[in-house]
Amino acid sequence: MCRHAAWLGPPRSLASLIFEPEHGLLPQAYAPRMQRFGSVNADGFGVGWYDPSRLEPVRYRRSIPIWADANLPGIADVARSSCLMAAVRSATVGMPIEESATAPFSDGVWLLSHNGRVRREAVALMAAGSESACDSAWLASAVFTRLREGMPVAQALPMVVRSVAEADPGARLNFLVSGGAELAATTWGDTLFAHLGQGVLIASEPLDDRPGWQAVPDRNLLLASPDGVLVTPIH
Ligand code: GLN
């Protein structure tokens, strides 16, 4: 099970998700505190952020452990944005370990991270055109197809979760999705926490021991925008 995190609010650096907090994504890669499936996240990592100079997000993904990339600390210090996403990966058995299997996935303005697993049959049709033969890439493709059709993310995400979970009741479907101005996240089988302050910080597990981290209940959709945060059950 992977760990992912995202920020929406006043510009801050990627380092504030990865390196600076006591339990940021770097320590979560080798010593996650709440991980239920898998024990280390050494099968790659990815970061994505939005810069005012371009519409589409910038990404940097590698298929090596996050602690093994000597260039990332410098990049993470200068990559500052009002919207950030980062993930460390523990590949599901049978899934390829390659850059294209590593979150965040992207399509146009969208960034997507998936924490969980799904059986191939459950997404067979939806997975057409996916970037990698990895279950997360199939799911990303399913969500992107709906977003490309113009469906709002608040509708597209729960719709994919419901239909996939129906086809594979054992699926775990924790997503993070952003188009740069908002963040959407689902809980379906794994943990997610939110910390509200000047902006919204969400993460599979708290990045530090500050008070204020709130657990998002399972089977919910979290929507964060500059107007606030809304959590609603996915039925
Ligand atoms: N199933 C996905 C993969 O293989 C995600 C794994 C995870 O959440 N650990 O990469």
User: Could you tell me the residue range of the domain that residue 146 belongs to?
Assistant: 3-233
Q: What pLDDT, on the 0 to 100 scale, is given for residue 125?
A: 67
Residue 224's pLDDT band (cuts 50, 70, 90): very high
φ, ψ dihedrals at 106, nearest 5°: -145, 150
Counting residues of the chain whose pLDDT is more than 70, the rounded percentage is 98
Closest by CA to 230, choosing from 180, 196, 207, 205, is: 196
Judged against a pLDDT cut of 80, whether residue 212 lies above it is answered with yes
Give the CATH number of the domain where residue 161 resides: 3.60.20.10
Sign of CA dihedral 67, 183, 107, 105: positive
Q: Which of 105, 135, 164, 176 to mutate to test the pocket of ligand 1 (most atoms within 8 A of CB)?
A: 135
Catalytic residue list: 2
Count of domains forming the chain: 1
Ligand 1 site residues (CB inside 6 A) read: 1-2, 38, 89-92, 95, 101, 114-117, 134-136
ipTM for the assembly: 0.95
- Comparing 94-108, 114-128, 178-192, the range with the smallest average pLDDT is 114-128
Q: Which atom of ligand 1 is found nearest the CA of 41?
A: 9
Within a 13 Å sphere around the CA of 231, how many CA atoms are in the beta-carbon half?
15
Judged against a pLDDT cut of 80, whether residue 38 lies above it is answered with no
> 191 alpha carbon to ligand 1 midpoint, in Å?
14
Q: Is 207 helix (H, G, I), strand (E, B) or coil?
A: coil
> 229 alpha carbon to ligand 1 midpoint, in Å?
27
Closest by CA to 196, choosing from 156, 235, 160, 229, is: 229
pTM value surpassing 0.90: yes
DSSP 8-class letter at 150: T
